[in-house]
Amino acid sequence: MADFPQLGAFLRARRARLRPDDVGLPALPGVRRVVGLRREEVAQLAGVSVSYYTRLEQDQPVRASDGVLAALAGALRLDEHERTHLRELAVRRPRPLGRPPGERVDALTRDLLRSVGPTPALVLGRRTDVLAWNAPARALLAGHLEPTAPDRPADRPNLARMTFLDPHTRHLYADWERKARAVVGHLRQVAGRHPEDGLLAALVGELSMQSAEFAALWSDHRIRPCEADGYRLRHPLAGELTVTQQILVLARTPDQSLVLVTAEEGSRSEDTLRGLVRGAAADPVH
């Protein structure tokens, strides 16, 4: 089981991607012994002492005010999502890893899933477990898996595991690297919100051991919320098509989200998607 390096690891990863000229600092003569900015340079840019910043990177019990966090975010050139992640890491001190309660899909969410009709849709849990899907979603994304798999907690497909360990999914995404970065960026964001989630830590540990690509992306500490993105698919039956995956957070259960898959109106991809959906029309909704 992996644990989640918190504030210090994130700060180190973010300063490693910056050079002095990126932030308006003169490049000092001599060979730099670190990748990216030095601690002293980040402290200077943020207006804090080097010893204070060092304690933050070492995850020592130091209180960081909103003003200090804003100054650090500016010094490290963080975007909006990274700034939110920084604040979450600063206030969520590590707690013992535990086993959270099992995730389930309530009746209202199942009604919502049914209401989208022929649009491929699935419900994802906190750790990207597929909690429910309709027949079009399974036909498009995972036709090699059993229709009832999401109904059995022990057998539920997991989007992150599928992305990195399932050859079918890897072939399905023509731009697999971008999909992989999005999945890892999402898991990083979730880990910042739920550092005590033992099941999430176990998933990260499993993927880190079994996929060098996952381990490399995870160590980069990039944050990427999964909201909407387009992907080129190579479906084994329908052929090539381009789709948009949109993720809607469910208000009643904010750790769960509804994923909808659509294609551009009037496009060849829309025709391809409709044909695939017609082929799955006889399958039950799960």
User: What is the C-alpha to C-alpha distance for residues 198 and 191, in angstroms, rounded to an integer?
Assistant: 10
User: What is the C-alpha to C-alpha distance for residues 234 and 167, in angstroms, rounded to an integer?
Assistant: 13
**Res. 88 pLDDT band, cuts 50 70 90:** confident
Residues 248, 254, 65, 220, CA torsion sign = negative
pLDDT at 119 over 70: yes
Residues 141, 242, 261, 84, CA torsion sign = positive
pLDDT at 44 over 50: yes
Q: Among 54-68, 77-91, 133-147, 223-237, name the most confident range.
A: 133-147
Query: What confidence score (pLDDT) does residue 283 get?
Result: 52
Go through the chain and tell me how many residues it has.
Answer: 286
Q: Which domains does the chain have, with CATH numbers?
A: 7-91 (1.10.260.40), 107-279 (3.30.450.180)
Query: Mean pLDDT across the stretch 159-174?
Result: 96
CA dihedral 116, 121, 125, 131 (to 10 degrees): 90
Least confident of 21-25, 202-206, 213-217: 21-25
* DSSP character at residue 151: G
CA 161, 167, 172: angle at the middle one, nearest 5?
A: 95
Query: What confidence score (pLDDT) does residue 46 get?
Result: 87
Query: Mean pLDDT across the stretch 182-187?
Result: 93
pLDDT at 271 over 90: yes
**How much of the chain exceeds pLDDT 70, in percent?**
92
The per-residue DSSP string of 213-229 comes to HHHHHHHTT-----SEE
Q: Among 15-29, 48-62, 178-192, name the most confident range.
A: 178-192
Query: What confidence score (pLDDT) does residue 285 get?
Result: 47
**Res. 95 pLDDT band, cuts 50 70 90:** low
Q: Which alpha helices (DSSP H) does the chain contain, by range?
A: 7-16, 39-46, 50-57, 66-75, 80-91, 107-115, 135-141, 159-165, 167-172, 176-193, 198-210, 212-219, 268-279
Amino acid at 93: R
**Res. 286 pLDDT band, cuts 50 70 90:** very low
At CB < 8 A and 24+ separation, what contacts does 147-152 make? 147/283, 147/284, 147/286, 148/286, 150/122, 150/286, 151/286
Query: Mean pLDDT across the stretch 133-158?
Result: 93
**Res. 93 pLDDT band, cuts 50 70 90:** low
pLDDT at 132 over 70: yes
Query: What confidence score (pLDDT) does residue 209 get?
Result: 94
Cα–Cα distances (Å) from 273 to 118, 140, 235, 277, in that order, read 10, 8, 10, 6
